[in-house]
Structure 1
């Protein structure tokens, strides 16, 4: 059983559950307690979806992982490629079916669209560079949208999804810059246009996100505690500056900035 937990990377599923719960809280505040059934289903959907996505990823990358991640179940021979593929397709399909239990077509549409994006990314877009970066960012933003859908307030999280998508694009490009030496065979953005231009594009995405973060405050959506988001904004701007010299440090600090921003969102709703 442990080998399947490693295939599914269950810890990632728990983080996905947390993302959905935060998205639901942002969309409904304390009203979240009125949607416990929907939230339970949403958490099950996310765990199933991420388990399927990770299994599909390991199936697609099974040859590459013999070098890059030899400790994973497929390279070690603990799970057959056929079993991993079945788990991948089964997990994504189960997520789509479970979403029907929420009684919301919005939820089902979001999950189905995410599943299509996941398969498209793993099979094709992963090797295309920037389009792959965009897709990963969209999937990140969809966690907020799905959390909102679970409490019948899909539209309420659009601004948060947009911010998450923008800074995620910047971080994904920074990761590609950092991994250039190990990305042979992939058409990543820095390989296509050069590190300097790719860094500039990533920096723009890092900065647009913080600009959008001002809107919830101006619109009166949050209480003053939301001002903590400006700390996250400052970190993102710092990431944009240091990206030109240290991609690893930039993407690492961007992750910290995302955590601070999430905390600001939560405090702003309380």
Structure 2
């Protein structure tokens, strides 16, 4: 007696929950937080412009960052088939070219909403959208570089939204102290992005993505990431002291010491502890960002 089995139907429409996972809500917080830091640091009163603050936060997180995640997953679908085959695109829950269409539609939506934030907000949105595609898409694909890739992501996650929040609230170019501090925290975020590359180590090695964990090895890459995170914060502390903000400088120093303690744990097992550090040490990092923002607000 033979048993007939019907083929598994091929999905033509994406699973709604898979679409949500495609744009990765867990990644939205850093640029949203950085935009809020920029708004605070501007010194402008926020209550009259709460709508612009809220719109900028939504643009920085769910829209631009979500778009960048969709674009990255589409361009990385072959790597993800090795590293994480359960992701929306390689698993087939976002079938065909739906991942590309979502990324393109969200790129257009980003520009439309960015236009509502005035010339500074729109210009920053254009930069963010172009950077997202430059990071992931051929032939540029800066993700292939362990230096340019994390540097670009750090700039777009921390520096660019900080600058944008300050520019939109002040209706003009931010002051040099704001630009410098935002740039320093963007530089430090390079180390955070390097630790994030640990989860894709095997797939990156096979697909020719030269992340620092691939080119330097996990131990050396983790030590370098720690230095990259710590040194810009030391510079921020020095600047806050120079700008007569000793209490803010002391708080940032305390948060940096907490990170150094977490780094000691990380360096004992870089591959195993990188996700743990990104959930603990990074919290102290972003807390220092807001402390520095309030110090800049007092200077404005």
Q: TM-score range by the shorter chain?
A: 0.7 to 0.9
Name the residue aligned to 2:180: 159
2:21–2:88: 8 Å Cα contact kept in structure 1? Answer: yes
Measured at CA, do residues 73 and 174 of structure 1 come closer, stay the same or move farther in structure 2, by a change above 3 Å? closer
Name the residue aligned to 1:113: 127
Name the residue aligned to 1:256: 283
Q: Output the CA distance in 1 between the equivalents of 2:232 and 2:46.
A: 26
Q: How does 1:64-143 map to 2 (within 5 A)?
A: 64-104=79-119, 106-123=120-137, 124-140=141-157, 141-143=159-161
Measured at CA, do residues 17 and 168 of structure 1 come closer, stay the same or move farther in structure 2, by a change above 3 Å? closer
Shift of 1:190: 4.1
Q: Structure 1, residues 107-135: CA drift from partner, whole Å, max 9, x if none?
A: 22211111111101011111222211111
Q: Output the CA distance in 1 between the equivalents of 2:49 and 2:246.
A: 23
Which moves more between the two structures, 196-205 or 223-232? 196-205
Measured at CA, do residues 91 and 179 of structure 1 come closer, stay the same or move farther in structure 2, by a change above 3 Å? closer
Q: TM-score, normalised by structure 1?
A: 0.83
Q: Output the CA distance in 2 between the equivalents of 1:178 and 1:76.
A: 18
How many residue pairs match? The answer is: 267
Name the residue aligned to 2:77: 62
Q: Output the CA distance in 2 between the equivalents of 1:126 and 1:22.
A: 27
SS of equivalent residue, structure 2 residue 192 = helix
Alpha carbon RMSD of aligned pairs, Å? 2.9
1:217–1:226: 8 Å Cα contact kept in structure 2? Answer: yes
Measured at CA, do residues 154 and 139 of structure 1 come closer, stay the same or move farther in structure 2, by a change above 3 Å? same
1:117–1:135: 8 Å Cα contact kept in structure 2? Answer: yes
Q: Output the CA distance in 1 between the equivalents of 2:109 and 2:24.
A: 17
Q: Output the CA distance in 2 between the equivalents of 1:173 and 1:10.
A: 20
Shift of 1:88: 0.5
1:41 equivalent among 55, 68, 74: 55
Structure 2 unaligned segments of length 5 or more: list them: 1-15
Name the residue aligned to 2:4: none
1:166–1:208: 8 Å Cα contact kept in structure 2? Answer: no
Shift of 1:45: 2.1
Shift of 1:197: 5.2
Q: Structure 1, residues 107-164: CA drift from partner, whole Å, max 9, x if none?
A: 2221111111110101111122221111111112212112212202633532332232
Name the residue aligned to 2:214: 191
Greater relative contact order structure (CA < 8 Å, 6+ sep): 2
* Greater Cα radius of gyration, structure 1 or 2: 2
Which moves more between the two structures, 142-151 or 236-245? 236-245
2:255 equivalent among 232, 243, 247: 232
Q: Structure 1, residues 28-84: CA drift from partner, whole Å, max 9, x if none?
A: 26x111222322331342222122111112211223323433333223322224121
Structure 1 unaligned segments of length 5 or more: list them: none
Shift of 1:249: 3.7
